[in-house]
Structure 1
Amino acid sequence: MADIQIDKQLCDGCGDCVKACPMEIFLLKEEKATAINVETCMDCELCEVGCPNLAIKVTG
């Protein structure tokens, strides 16, 4: 299973990760990205690549 780390200080709430993730793992909560349903992550890293602020790191 993937481990998704979100640096809340770097996240500006743009929502690019929400748009990029084909598994709908991300949502914006209090104007910051939050990962839900992490067990469905395919490790595609589209969220990490799509984040303009480098706030997301996927390992697994």
Structure 2
Amino acid sequence: MTAPARYGNRRVPKMYAEINALRRAIAAEGSPAIQEAWAKVEEHIDFAYGRVGAGDNEGERG
């Protein structure tokens, strides 16, 4: 099954790109508290977007 191209009026690939950009920014420049907070919610974001077990987030977690 392939991922949908759109979620309402939003393009799904753009949403993934924006989430990954935020992930990289937090890893690179976020304070330890921000990185810890992101780590706690990141798995929920991945689940909500159906990416659990997809493997494309490995190596990018801060």
TM-score, normalisation: structure 1: 0.28
Give the structure, 1 or 2, with the largest relative contact order (CA under 8 Å, sep 6 or more): 1
Rg larger in structure: 2
